[in-house]
Amino acid sequence: MTRFNNLMDDMKEALTLSHRYKSLFLPALIANLIMVVLGFIMIFVIIFFVMGTIMSLTASQANWTYLISIGVITVLLILFFSLIFMALDLGINSIVIGSVNGEKPSAKLFFKGIRTFFLKVLMTKIGLFFLYTIGFILLLIPYLLYLVTVGVLTGGYGILFVTCLLQAFLGSWTLLLMENEDHPISGFTSVGINLKFGKNYFWLLILVFFIQLQLTAYLPGLFGLLGATLATLFISYVVATVFKIVVLLTYRRYKENLELK
């Protein structure tokens, strides 16, 4: 019960900080605007791709250069916006850490996090991508079996549990990396700390991410169909920001038990 009580205290503190520093949620608005822009761009890309495909099929010879160009542009756009959202996440982490330290969220603090950790996080994510790919290939069949058995029988909660599991073990390593700025560690060391964090405080973190995912899923519905469509990303970032504070406070509370030997 002590850990649960501590978690409730951390959640209360996170809500207090969120109320005190409302500018914490400005990046959530930015993310929503970026997503709207991305949506329009992807609509135009899809239209051009469909038009090019139809023209190629009706022509005597397929215009492969056009189709390949559209494909390359699509991939580049996905990579570009992935980097933007990664930078946005780093900025949010920076102002979350700053707010917990008593600093008022600011553009300077936001861009400091991006400037300091962008390359380190990018290199780590590239390395993790290959590990994830190998893991995905090895676990694909067991995961599909899990989806059609446990996932279906539990009405989707089995899938939700897997999501919480991944978040508990791998969802906070960038935040922990930035938290240890005074004693710099590598990206993979931060991943190791996150894994240990998830192992030692498994049910605590499962509960944290379960609540986060439930709020993210159900809060947009309060705004109606159109409101939910427009507000989903904004609300998900707002909820994620609050729970980043919770995770950070929880990590600080148990940090001494999480040092890698």
> What pTM value is reported for the model?
0.85
Alpha-carbon distance of 257 to 108, in angstroms, equals 32
Number of domains composing the chain: 1
The boundaries of the domain holding residue 199 are: 2-258
d(CA 169, CA 101) in angstroms, rounded, equals 25
DSSP category for residue 155: T
120: left (phi over 0), alpha (psi -120 to 50) or beta: alpha
Give me the tens of pLDDT residue by residue for the chain, a chain 261 residues long: 789 899 999 999 999 999 999 888 888 788 777 777 877 877 877 777 777 667 666 665 556 776 677 778 878 888 888 899 899 999 999 999 999 999 999 999 999 999 999 999 999 999 998 888 888 788 778 777 777 776 666 666 777 888 899 999 999 999 999 999 888 899 999 999 999 999 999 999 999 999 998 888 887 766 666 566 667 777 888 899 999 999 999 999 999 888 776
Token duo for residue 159: 């899938």
Q: Name the nearest CA neighbour of 170 among 90, 247, 225, 99.
A: 247
